[in-house]
């Protein structure tokens, strides 16, 4: 019985032997397009997973939030919600660093009850639906309720924290012991608050002005 001839290494297969050069070129072109499609699909999937927050556990808050921009999906009088999941929550809550909570402001008597609504309206006007950039302070990224603490920069380059203080819609909170006591951003907020008090803006409209005001540092 005659044995079949062995196929030499590197010799074209029976299927390719019957294809013309044009057909071979088309076959390789289709393969290249398929590979490119797979690569693009993988990149799109990775981008989607990152947007959904699947990779947040791979780094800390400074890595994933500091210096980055996010869309604001909702606001309250004390915080923003940005469009990035935070652990088991669909969004991340961001509190304004250096700004006292509404509940911590002692002047919330009948005369100042509207501060909550007015401050929330201002935050909604300036930030809701916009992309803001967060600046965190190392070692003080979260508050006691696990909300991010950040200086928030608006699309026009101004600071949301500073604009609320300047309008008398917010009071500057005492500096946390974990932060440098000479922090430039906090000194600037205090000077802006002094100016708002002098101007009797917002919650300071019935307060005595401070005796001396220095210009905020640039």
Tokens of 107: 């002047």
**pLDDT per residue as tens digits for the range 17-50:** 577 778 778 888 888 888 888 888 777 666 555 5
The tokens 């088309």 sit on which residue?
26
| pLDDT of the residue at 183 | 87
Can you give the pLDDT at residue 92?
A: 96
Instruction: Specify the pLDDT at position 163.
Output: 98
What pLDDT is attached to residue 110? 58
Name which residue leads in pLDDT, 177 or 131: 131
pLDDT of the residue at 50: 54
Strands 92-96 and 148-153: parallel
Q: What is the pTM of this model?
A: 0.67
Which tens digit of pLDDT belongs to each residue from 68-124? 999 999 999 999 999 999 988 899 999 999 999 887 665 555 556 678 889 999 999
Q: Record the tokens describing residue 200, joined without a space.
A: 């009797």
Report the C-alpha gap between 98 and 127 in whole angstroms. 18
- Tokens representing 169 are 């819609």
Question: Looking at residue 212, what is its pLDDT?
Answer: 42
The answer to whether residue 165 scores a pLDDT higher than 50 is yes
Q: Average the pLDDT over each of 81-85, 124-128, 135-139 and give the range with the smallest value.
A: 135-139
pLDDT number for residue 58: 47
More confident residue, 95 or 59: 95
Among 32, 33, 12, 9, smallest CA distance to 21 is for 12
User: 132, exposed or middle or buried, with CB in 10 Å at 0-12, 13-18, 19+?
Assistant: buried
* Average pLDDT of the chain, as a whole number: 81
- The candidate with the shortest Cα–Cα distance to 99, out of 210, 181, 182, 192, is 192
């Amino acid at each position: 019985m005659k044995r079949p001839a062995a196929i030499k290494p590197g010799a074209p297969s029976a299927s390719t032997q019957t294809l013309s050069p044009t057909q071979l070129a088309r076959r390789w072109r289709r393969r290249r397009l398929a590979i490119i499609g797979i690569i693009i699909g993988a990149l799109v999937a990775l981008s989607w997973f990152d947007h959904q927050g699947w990779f947040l556990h791979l780094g800390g808050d400074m890595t994933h939030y500091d210096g980055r921009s996010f869309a604001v999906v909702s606001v309250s009088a004390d915080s923003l919600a940005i469009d990035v999941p935070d652990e088991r929550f669909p969004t991340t809550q961001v509190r304004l660093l250096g700004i006292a909570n509404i509940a911590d402001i002692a002047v919330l008597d009948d005369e100042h009850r509207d501060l909550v609504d007015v401050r929330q309206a201002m935050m909604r006007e300036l930030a809701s639906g916009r992309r803001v950039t967060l600046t965190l302070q190392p070692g003080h990224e979260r508050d006691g309720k696990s909300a991010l603490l950040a200086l928030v920069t608006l699309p026009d380059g101004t600071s949301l924290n500073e604009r609320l203080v300047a309008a008398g819609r917010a009071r500057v909170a005492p500096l946390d012991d974990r932060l440098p006591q000479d922090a430039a951003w906090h000194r600037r907020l205090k000077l802006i608050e002094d100016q708002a008090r002098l101007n009797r803006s917002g919650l300071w409209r019935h307060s005595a002005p401070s005796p001396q005001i220095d210009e905020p540092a640039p």
